[in-house]
Structure 1
Amino acid sequence: MGDRDDFEDQQYPDNDEFIPYVTAGNLAQRNGAKISLWGKVTKVSASEGFYVKTVDDQELLIRLKKPLNEPLEGWYEIHGVSQGKSVLCEEYVPLSGEITKNIDIEGHKSLAKLLSALDDPWNLGNEESEAMLGVTPMK
C-alpha cells in the first residue's frame, strides 16, 4: 500500500494548480484560463446552457459541452474556462441549502477580488526569506 501523498495525488491530480474564484466583473481578465465562480441559476436554455446571477449581481451565460439532462435551480459552484463574457463549463456543483441559507455574497465577492489581484496567492516566497522565519513546511 502506497503512502497517503500518492493516494491524494491520484484522487486530486490537479491539486497543485491554483484555479481562482472570479466574479462576472473580472472574468474577462482571465479569458482562456480555468476559473471557478458562484452563481444562482436564473434561466436554462436548451440550446446554450444556463444563466446565473453572480455574487457581483451580473447575469452570465454558462455554456455546456452537452445538453442538460436535469433541472437546475439555486446556487452552484461552476468550474470551467473563461470565454470573456461567458464560461465553458467543465463541472457544476450545487451548493447545499445549508450553505446558501446564510451565503456571504459580499465576503465571496471580496475573496474573488483579492485572489484576482494576486498572481500566485499560494506562493509565500522562498523558504529563506525573512517572512518565512519560524514557519515550518507541513509534512
Structure 2
Amino acid sequence: MRTTSQQQWRVLNLHLDHLGAEARRQSVQLVAAKLAAWPQGAVAVVMGDFNPSGDDGLLQSMQQALPQHQDVLALKPGKGPAYSFLNWYDKPDQGVRLDFMLVPKAQLSVQKAQLVADDLKNRRSDHLALQAWLQIQ
C-alpha cells in the first residue's frame, strides 16, 4: 500500500497458535525477521489475534522483538471494552484481550483506538473489531 507521498506500507495480519506457547514465541521471531527484511523506512503495522496467555510472556517477547512498535490501545485507549474475545456463551465480564495492533511509534501517531462491541447479541464473530485512526508523522 502507498500513500500519496509514495511512502511504502506493510501490514502483517497474524493469527498465532492458540494452544502452543512455543509456537507463539517462534512466530514472534519470524515476524521480527520478516520486518527486518522489509525496505528501510517502510511503515510496518503488525496486527491480529496474538492469542497471548496470561503467563506465557508473549506480549513481552513481542515488545523485545519489535521495540519500535507499540500497541494502539496503550497509546490511545478508547471508550470500548477492554476485552476483544468473548466466547459465544460468555458474558462481557468474562472476556479477554487477544487482538492487538502494533504500530511504529516514530512513524505513526494514534489519533484514536478502540475495541467495538456495538451489538453483542447479534454479533457474527467471537472476536470484536479493533479500530484505529492513524496519522503519518
TM-score by length of 2: 0.30
Larger Rg: 1
